[in-house]
């Protein structure tokens, strides 16, 4: 019953910004931590960001620290990933993940290229 529906991916120039959204349903979203992962072509899926259930604490991969911000709106059952100062190496499929439910979104493509 768990569903994670992502949106906001697309093509952006280096140095640009993009905001991803993940709309959740089928579980008690406000009681669950949430994460973002990404998978580049030919690479393993890797951790990007994490946020606690109330949004009071966050954690980031070193590769995105200082550039990306994870946030959530529990009233909308939505988690966000604000991506700034994007680099070509950020190109990947980005996935929303609910760790407690071990459930993944479908992924959204982010391409950073001039």
Q: Which two tokens stand for residue 30?
A: 């406000």
What are 79's strand-pairing partners?
22, 72
Looking at residue 77, what is its pLDDT? 97
Contact indicator for 22, 74 with CB cutoff of 8 Å = no
Looking at residue 96, what is its pLDDT? 98
Instruction: List, as one string, the DSSP characters of 65-100.
Output: TTTEEEEEETTTTEEEEEE-S--GGG-EEEEEEETT
11 Cβ contact list (under 8 Å, min separation 6): 111, 113
Looking at residue 91, what is its pLDDT? 98
Looking at residue 65, what is its pLDDT? 98
With cut-offs at 50, 70 and 90, classify the pLDDT of residue 66.
Answer: very high
Tell me the per-residue pLDDT of 23-59, one tens digit each, with 9 for 90 and over: 999 999 999 999 999 999 999 999 999 999 998 999 9
With cut-offs at 50, 70 and 90, classify the pLDDT of residue 69.
Answer: very high
Q: How many helices (H) and strands (E) does the chain have?
A: 0, 11
């Amino acid at each position: 019953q768990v569903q994670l529906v992502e949106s906001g991916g697309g093509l952006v120039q280096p140095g640009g910004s993009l905001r991803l959204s993940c709309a959740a349903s089928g579980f008690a979203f406000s009681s669950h931590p949430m994460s973002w992962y990404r998978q580049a072509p030919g690479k393993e899926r890797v951790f990007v960001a994490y946020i606690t259930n109330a949004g009071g604490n966050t954690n980031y991969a070193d590769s995105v620290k200082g550039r990306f911000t994870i946030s959530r709106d529990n009233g909308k059952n939505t988690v966000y990933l604000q991506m700034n100062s994007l680099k070509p190496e950020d190109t990947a499929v980005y996935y929303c993940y609910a760790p407690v439910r071990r459930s993944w979104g479908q992924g959204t493509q982010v391409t950073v290229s001039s």
